[in-house]
Amino acid sequence: MSLINTEVKPFHATAYHNGEFVQVSDADLKGKWSVVFFYPADFTFVCPTELGDLADFYPKLQEMGVEVYSVSTDTHFTHKAWHDASDTIKKIQFPMLADPTGVISRNFDVMIEEDGLALRGTFVINPEGEIKVAEIHDLGIGRSAKELVRKIQAAQYVASHDGEVCPASWQPGEETLSPSLDLVGKI
């Protein structure tokens, strides 16, 4: 079953955020747009490139009213150690959630049980707590924060413009579509 349009399942986690350990739960995702960004493990190879890319786009996402939560099966202590050790990870200003029991990873269907790691999963969640975008990659395939921003812009547009949809590669300001019988076979 697809996770699209389902509500985020309950969770509680400790996160490393702005030099402190803080508590984060599913309730924190409600009332604003959120991105839950799973990655396999701290102190690895592709992961810091993705998290650094996401950190570079974080100010733009904040302007859009979006909070980002990165998640791995590491502990919050490991997140702090990685943050302290890596110049790339030092750029991160969003909460880094610890999921050592795998509860959150299982809730989002990204857990690799035999390895105790999460797949590269990206989930965009609307203010009502419903998953609107779900993207899951194999471990060797890195993601693009620039494309994530575009997808969130499209999701936000569709949410606020009833009856309109965004075509492929849509960018803000471009034309959208209003599905109707008149368009059938004419696109």
* Token pair recorded at residue 169: 């590669």
**Rounded-to-5 percentages of helix, strand, coil across the chain:** 30, 25, 40
> Residue 15 and residue 2: Cα distance in Å, rounded?
27
> Residue 90 and residue 146: Cα distance in Å, rounded?
20
3 state DSSP class of 152 = helix
**Nearest C-alpha neighbor of 162 from the set 178, 182, 181, 174:** 178
> Residue 182 and residue 187: Cα distance in Å, rounded?
10
Q: Contact at 8 Å (CB) between 112 and 120?
A: no
Q: Contact at 8 Å (CB) between 165 and 176?
A: yes
Residue 48, burial from CB neighbour count under 10 angstroms (0-12, 13-18, 19+):
buried
**Could you give the residue numbers annotated as active site?**
47
